[in-house]
Structure 1
Amino acid sequence: MPFYLLASVFVGLVTDGADPLRDVAAQLLSFGCALPLAALAALLLPQLRPLEVAAVRTLCFLPAERLADGPAPSWAARRRTALWFVAHLLAGGVVSGMTLAAPPAAVVLLVLPFTAPLQRSVPPWMQDLPGALGPLAGLGLLALVVATAWACGVLLARCAPALLGPTPADRLAAAERRAADLATRNRLARELHDSVGHALSAVTLQASAARRVLDEDPEFARQALTAIEETTRAAVAELDTVLGLLREEDGTDPAAPAPTLDALDALLARTRAAGMTVEAAVEERCAGLPPVVSREAYRIVQEGLSNALRHAGPVPVRLQLRLRRDQLTLRMENPVAAGGAGPAPAAPTARTGGGLGLRGIAERARLLGGEATATATDGVWRLTARLPLAGSAHTGADGS
């Protein structure tokens, strides 16, 4: 309607003697001039697409997945929206005009044979209709209005997915959003599994060892309880760090930074308190690694120790961190089953649905452009990870 009124004013100004309020030709001309104005508005206003999509969903009963969401992001999408808007207005104008003009004429034709004064005041072509032909023409006119409205609705419903459906850019943006959401979920799953999972495994073994020697060796039990306290305190801190990742998604800073290789000594101390013997060979140069590489290397070591605790018990573990050129090489070895004596905890129980830790290690290595392998040979479990230092530039400061 605003476009038609603006076009009517323009037609009245540039055309001599034209009256858009009474002259049918002037009305049609105004309607024709209003359509380009509507197309221009659709091109300049990307917010028009959500309004049209809402109307189509309500009136045409189309599934939501066949239509795009949000404003038109590109000029191609805007052109499609403009074409749809013009088609919508054109169909609406035709149906509106017929709805305003045809029903009164149909009523006149229906009562024409029964009203003599009306027969003298109608146009000559109506006066020439014989007998029942007038009412039949009136019914036909009403049927034409209904059929036109139905045909326009069907045509618009068929055109809507093509003109208001998601463009390739929309599909790409949706795929990128899904990929980002999945990456965030995987990242949180890795952090929870490696940090809290390791702490729970260590606490379980420490508590089991303390229970077994509580009467025979109270001092050992006291040390185990102290280790449990330290491990749980560290686990709570790391849980705050993982929850901070969620706050990062909201644009706020995390509660605490994620641990790096600077905290490796404390990790090894907590692991040794669980009854595991850890022999570590770490080059001094590893202290100056990029933060992302250092953080992922810490998590890989943590998960490797956690796997040994869960599946083999308090076995001796050999850890080696070597820096060669632009690559950090991490190796861990341990027997596949405990063979020592002493107050060892109960044998680890088999778990179903495992393998998440190894998958997380492989994902962490791939994020840095490296690789990780884990194999069991001759009764020895070997974990090897190679992390290129240059890969940290591609992952960003958050390691995501």
Structure 2
Amino acid sequence: MKQLFGARARLRWIHLILGGALSMPYFLLGSVFVGPFIGNQNVFTSASLQFAAFGVALPMATLTAFFPLVRPLSVGAVRALCGVPREGLADGPARSGPARVRTAGWFTLHLGLGGIISGMTLAVPPFAATLIILPLLTRLRDTPLALPEVFDHTWALALAPVAGVAILVALAACAALAGALLARWAPVLLGPTPADRLAAAERRAADLAVRNRLARELHDSVGHALSAVTLQAGAARRVLDSDVEFVREALTAIEETTRRTVGELDAVLGLLRQGEDSPGELPGPTLDVLDDLLARSGVKVTYAQDGGPAAQAPGPVSREAYRIVQEGLSNALRHGGAAPVSLRIALSGEELEIVMENPLPDRVPVVRPGGGRGLPGIAERATLLGGHAEAGPYGDVWRLTARLPVGGGGDAR
């Protein structure tokens, strides 16, 4: 009985009645065509004429279902009323030809079954109720409503309530069967096409790319600032009582570092507040302010430049190169402490090369929980520009090398 009168069966019944309500305008329009064609202006005088009008209405409904917005409306109704899993249905309007054809097939099926079940729902319950109460109301027994040719015997009259209940159960069974049929065909006709799956995959990939870009910006800017602040605060604590001037300089450096980092953090978070699927060029410093980065890095850096001025690199390359240098300095601070770092940047007509070296630490670095994202982030930045990066021990030093093409061969967004 749950399959006939349970919550899901009732919701599917409502879905069918909704289809019947949607079919009414088409049915009325179909009656306008059928009436004059057979010389009878009123099709409601005959059940056969009504079915003919309904048959004319369904093709008209099929044609209107080719509009793109029919699919999202149908999918919303199916998800709410038919109990079909969300992942089995497509999102968004039907754009391709096959998707529109399948949507039109679903719309026609929904309105066809809905119109039949809605008509039965309107006509059957009053008749069944009459049969149920027929033995109690003697005034109805001699009327055509009581079907005297059928219930003219006492035993037949006694079975009238049973027949009424059976008719109601049969109606519920028809509605449940039609609802189950629609639920079964919904993923087939309203499910994603290969083009829909490809579009969804592209949207997910674009969203993931945006999130990874924002994560890299936060990791490199905030991570570097925290590493520098930690080193400067630790050094100031050790000489707090013996070198007040050094402590003052360290606190000033901490203040400047945090102020700049808050500005960069606000810029990145501003993109999140915009709610854009794919923001354009991310804000951030470039190699124009590299000297300032090296001065406040918290570590001694020997900087050499070959070829043209590094600041003349194209904007996306210059921005990513700045972040690569920043992350390289952060790694040197985390693992090498105050050990000196050598940095060489060479700009030619084809690529920008970054080489950073610092002495290997005496002890194996402690792996931070959730850490280890810096070097993969550097590799991602280089790959997005069409270049590559690598890092690892080289003799007694740790070497980071990145080569970035300057001819616009990648996507630096």
- TM-score class, shorter: 0.7 to 0.9
Deviates more, 1:243-252 or 1:32-41: 243-252
Displacement of 1:181 after TM fit?
Answer: 2.1
Q: Which moved more, 1:98-107 or 1:20-29?
A: 98-107
1:241 aligns with 2:238: no
1:21 partner SS: helix
1:233-279 residue CA offsets vs partner (Å, 9 max, x unmatched): 322232233224335654999999411111111111112xx2x2211
Pair 1:24–1:329, CA change in 2 (3 A): same
Q: Give the superposition deviation at 1:197.
A: 1.2
Aligned residue for 2:400?
383
Q: Which of the numbers 84, 98, 112 marks the counterpart of 1:90?
A: 112
Look up the SS of the partner of 1:191 in the other structure: helix
Aligned to 2:231: 205
CA positional deviation for 1:315: 0.7
2:27 aligned residue: 4
Q: Which has the higher contact order (CA 8 A, sep 6+)?
A: 2
Rounded Cα–Cα distance in structure 1 between residues aligned with 2:282 and 2:383: 25
Q: TM-score, normalised by structure 1?
A: 0.85
Aligned partners of 2:206 and 2:278 also within 8 Å: no
1:65 is matched with: 87
Cα 1:310–1:258 shift into 2, 3 Å: same
- Secondary structure of 2:399's aligned partner: strand
Q: Is the 8 A contact 2:124 2:167 kept in 1?
A: yes
Q: In 2, distance between residues paired with 1:336 and 1:362?
A: 21
**Which letter maps to 1:26?**
L
1:11 corresponds to which letter in structure 2?
V
Indicate if the aligned counterparts of 2:220 and 2:374 stay in contact, CA closer than 8 A.
yes
The answer as to whether partners of 1:53 and 1:164 remain within 8 angstroms in 2 is yes
Q: TM-score, normalised by structure 2?
A: 0.82
The two structures, once aligned, show a CA RMSD in angstroms of 3.2
What do residues 171-217 of structure 1 show as CA deviations (whole Å, max 9, x unaligned)?
22322222222222211111111111111211221222223234433
In the alignment, the residues of structure 2 paired with residue 328 and residue 117 of structure 1 have an alpha-carbon distance, to the nearest angstrom, of: 98
**Residue 213 (structure 2) aligns with:** 187
Q: Any gaps of 5 or more consecutive residues in structure 2?
A: 1-23
Structure 2 SS opposite 1:266: helix
8 Å Cα contact 1:113/1:131 also seen in 2: no
* Partner SS state of residue 42, structure 2: coil
Contact 2:225–2:261 (Cα < 8 Å) also in 1 = yes
SS in 2 for 1:230: helix
Residues matched between the structures, number: 385
Structure 1 residues 107, 220: closer, same or farther in 2, change over 3 A? closer
For the residues of structure 2 that align with 1:70 and 1:260, how far apart are their CA atoms? 40
Residue deviations 1:84-104 (CA, integer Å, cap 9, x gap):
111111112222333344445
Deviations 1:267-301 (A, max 9, x none): 11112xx2x22111123332211100111011000
Match of 1:56 among 69, 74, 78: 78
- State how far apart, in whole Å, the 2-side matches of 1:138 and 1:146 are: 13
Question: Are the equivalent residues in 1 in contact too, given 2:268–2:283 (CA < 8 A)?
Answer: no
Q: Secondary structure at the match of 1:314?
A: coil
More off after superposition, 103-112 vs 28-37:
103-112
Q: Secondary structure at the match of 1:355?
A: coil
AA aligned to 2:372 is G
- Retained in 2: the 8 A contact 1:311–1:350? no
Aligned to 2:172: 146
The percentage of counterpart residues that share the same residue type is 57
Q: CA deviation at 1:121?
A: 4.3
Match of 2:64 among 32, 41, 51: 41
Q: Which residue of 2 aligns with 1:26?
A: 49
Is 1:175 paired with 2:201? yes
- Supply the distance in 2 between the matched residues of 1:120 and 1:302 (Cα, whole angstroms): 95
Summarize deviations over 1:300-332 as a string: whole Å, max 9, x none: 001001100111101111111112441111111
Change (3 A) 1:18 1:139: farther
Note the C-alpha offset of 1:143: 4.0
CA contact (8 A) 1:321 1:330 kept: yes
Aligned-residue offset at 1:56: 2.1
3-state DSSP of counterpart to 2:185: helix
Q: Does the CA-based 8 Å contact 2:210-2:277 persist in structure 1?
A: no
State the one-letter code of the partner of 2:203.
R
